[in-house]
């Protein structure tokens, strides 16, 4: 059977099982000329189910394929082997059910906050007062009221990321993909943004897939955490986070939070050491 036929079979089998959430079945992805032996296998037979409305963190050493997996879920990279299926069917390309927030904000610098948020709405065909009202609602949601006419260069890093999140949420994706969205922020702003994201997610209950290097960030935010191996990336552990869903500053001092963070750090450290030895 050809690779194309095998991939098609995998998609059909996954589609038969897909009722809710995201189903990742035996996904392998390589960069470069793998057939000639010069390619790099980034992901190796990834299998993972993410439930509807779940906040799922991907954690692991640098180069383990976390962002690659996120881009495959988003449809921004072609699926070479295996299948990824959502409630909308097999993922073959980007779609309105999945939207991504990047680390570098990715705002249009020549557009104001409101114009950035309106951009996606107008691409969806929403116009006039309906688009304006929705843009206002999401700008309010991320606490940027009063900054609607500000340009990105006039905003702090945290405010720019709030604007990026508002723009993404406004188009109402079913799944929110986040690639280290707070990685470029200072420690204080990062903590505030984590709390804001938890609050926003608590109101919207969207499915979130969140890539991070930060163990405490993953434990604070997620319902479940997948720990990936050193390259080629595999899912080594999936950890349930049994903390209350309402989490704030006090959570950081909670005994269970500290214990779980230490446990997960040891698992991540094993993979980081393996990655170093592999080089």
- The whole-chain average pLDDT of the chain stands at 88
Residue 199 has pLDDT above 50, yes or no: yes
Of all residues in the chain, the percent with pLDDT exceeding 90 is 67
What number does CATH give the domain 3-97+173-278? 3.40.50.300
pLDDT reported for residue 105: 79
Residue 239 has pLDDT above 90, yes or no: yes
Rounded mean pLDDT, 216-235: 94
CA distance 224 to 55: 7
| Of the candidate ranges 31-40, 72-81, 149-158, 248-257, the one whose mean pLDDT is the lowest | 31-40
Residue 137 has pLDDT above 60, yes or no: yes
Contact 211, 66 (CB under 8 A): yes
Q: Is the whole-model pTM more than 0.85?
A: yes
For the chain, give every domain's residue range. 3-97+173-278
Residue 15 has pLDDT above 60, yes or no: no
Rounded mean pLDDT, 19-24: 83
pLDDT reported for residue 38: 67
The residue ranking higher by pLDDT, 118 or 247, is 118
pLDDT reported for residue 245: 81
CB atoms within 10 A of CB 246: 10
**How would you write 211-272 as a 3-class SS string?**
EECCHHHHHHHCCEEEEECCCCECEEEEEECCCCCCCCHHHHHCHHHHHHHHHHHHHHHHHH
């Amino acid at each position: 059977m050809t690779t194309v036929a095998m991939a098609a079979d995998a998609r059909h089998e996954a589609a038969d099982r897909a009722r809710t959430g995201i189903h990742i079945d035996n996904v392998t992805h390589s960069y470069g000329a793998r057939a000639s032996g010069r390619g790099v296998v980034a992901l190796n037979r990834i299998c993972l189910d993410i439930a509807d409305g779940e906040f799922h963190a991907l954690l692991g050493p640098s180069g383990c394929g976390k962002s690659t997996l996120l881009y495959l879920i988003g449809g921004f990279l072609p699926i070479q082997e295996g299948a990824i299926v959502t409630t909308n069917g097999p993922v073959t390309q980007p779609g309105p059910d999945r939207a991504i927030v990047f680390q570098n904000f990715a705002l249009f610098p020549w557009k104001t906050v409101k114009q950035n948020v309106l951009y996606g709405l107008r691409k969806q065909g929403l116009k006039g007062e309906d688009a304006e009202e929705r843009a206002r609602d999401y700008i309010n949601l991320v606490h940027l009221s009063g900054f609607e006419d500000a340009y990105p260069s006039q905003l702090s890093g945290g405010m720019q990321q709030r604007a990026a999140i508002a723009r993404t949420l406004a188009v109402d994706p079913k799944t929110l993909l986040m690639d280290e969205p707070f990685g470029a922020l200072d420690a204080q702003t990062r903590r505030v943004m984590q709390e804001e994201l938890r609050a926003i997610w608590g109101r919207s209950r969207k499915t979130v897939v969140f890539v991070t290097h930060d163990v405490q960030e993953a434990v604070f935010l997620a319902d479940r955490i997948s720990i990936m191996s050193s390259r080629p990336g595999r899912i080594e552990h999936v950890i349930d986070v049994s903390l209350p869903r309402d989490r704030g500053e006090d959570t950081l001092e909670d005994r269970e939070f500290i214990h779980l963070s230490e446990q997960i750090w040891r698992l991540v450290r094993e993979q980081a050491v393996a990655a170093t030895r592999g080089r």
